[in-house]
Amino acid sequence: MAKKSPQRPAAAKPAKLLSGGNPQIAKAEGDAPVKAYIAAMPGWKQDVGRRLDAIIERTLPGVQKAVKWNSPFYGVEGEGWFLSFHCFAKYVKVAFFRGALLRPVPPGESKQQEVRYLDIREDDEIDEKQFAAWVKQASQLPGERL
């Protein structure tokens, strides 16, 4: 009698990449969809996503997470969202929703008065100390209610 091969679980379907290589992940709350987004980030951007997520978690244990509009969001329960990031073709764009109030102000300007950006390119060094300081400051400001 021939042995039956053990059934393998079906491989997870890879996320579809949108323009600029941004992963298409269903809107959902919690750590799991954010981890799925990061796992689907292409190439070097995945390492950036992992580092950003780790710094945010280390700085704010228990931070609230969600994926909205194909971007990970971070917030404080009852206070709203303070940060998100998004993949573009040549960089990962971090958005601080009240970034104009941070010190020092993140370098990327926005058409929205309070929003500031940090663009991270492939060969950029992430200043983890400065990023963590921005995360801490941003988490103490009123967040976006989305």
Residues present in the chain in total: 146
Nearest to 74 by CA among 40, 117, 29, 41: 29
Q: How many domains does the chain have?
A: 1
Whether pTM exceeds 0.85: yes
138 contact partners, CB below 8 Å, separation of at least 6: 82, 83, 96, 97, 98, 99, 102
Domain that holds residue 28: 17-139
- Does a structural domain hold residue 144? no
- Does a structural domain hold residue 7? no
Give the angle 89-94-99 at the CA atoms, nearest 5°: 145
Over residues 62-85, the pLDDT tens digits come to 999 999 999 999 999 999 999 999
Q: Residue 5: what pLDDT? A: 41
Nearest to 117 by CA among 91, 131, 142, 99: 99
Q: Residue 3: what pLDDT? A: 43
Over residues 100-139, the pLDDT tens digits come to 999 999 999 999 999 999 999 999 999 999 999 999 999 9
- Does a structural domain hold residue 55? yes
| CATH number of the domain within which 35 lies | 3.90.1150.200
- Does a structural domain hold residue 132? yes
Q: Residue 146: what pLDDT? A: 78
What sign does the dihedral 109-112-116-122 (CA atoms) show?
Answer: negative
